[in-house]
Amino acid sequence: MDELLKPALYRAEGTTAVPQRPALLGGECGACGYVFFPLQRYGCEKCGSLDLKPRDLSGAGSLLASARVHLHAGKGRVAPFTVGAIRLDDGPIVRTLIVEEAGPLAVGQRMATTLETATDAEGAPRLDLRFAPEA
């Protein structure tokens, strides 16, 4: 299996709640319980506490919005592609790429993580996270 493109953000193994889908590596505030993604150490976005700990987030959620990008100025990605905002079942909202074969998308539909082969800056194959409609 290829290495992950961004191993600080996700892992191939799922969580206990959603074992078959790659987990996202988020965090939780020890003071107020706020759950966030990605993990950061600057302080809780809700209460400011520095008591932050890693928390694995299940790779499942609901689609809030999506957009098909037909023109993209960045060099890292070739249009067209689809981006979406997904509210994870564990709370945080993530902005993410959606698999090309997803077909028509509807707000509120169930989405789940999957790993797809991409390439890193040097062109080597790496697995990168996407969301796909839940089968």
Residues making contact with Zn ion (CB under 5 A): 29, 31-32, 34, 44, 46-47, 49
Query: In the complex, what is the shortest distance from the CB of residue 47 to Zn ion, in angstroms, rounded to a whole number?
Result: 3
| Residue whose CB is less far from Zn ion, 30 or 125 | 30
Cβ contacts of 132 within 8 Å, gap of 6 or more: 98, 99, 101, 102, 111, 112, 113, 114
Tell me the closest approach of the beta carbon of residue 88 to Zn ion, in angstroms: 18
* Neighbouring C-beta atoms of residue 24, cutoff 10 Å: 25
Rounded least distance, CB 36 to Zn ion, Å: 9
Nearer of residues 49 and 117 to Zn ion, judged by Cβ: 49
Nearer to Zn ion, 46 or 110 (CB): 46
**Paired residues of 113 in beta bridges:** 131
CA 29 to chain CA mean position, Å: 19
Contact assessment for residue 102 and residue 74, using Cβ atoms and an 8 Å cutoff: no
Query: DSSP 3-state assignment of 110?
Result: strand
Nearer of residues 28 and 128 to Zn ion, judged by Cβ: 28
**Residue 52 Cβ, how far from Zn ion at the closest point, in Å?**
8
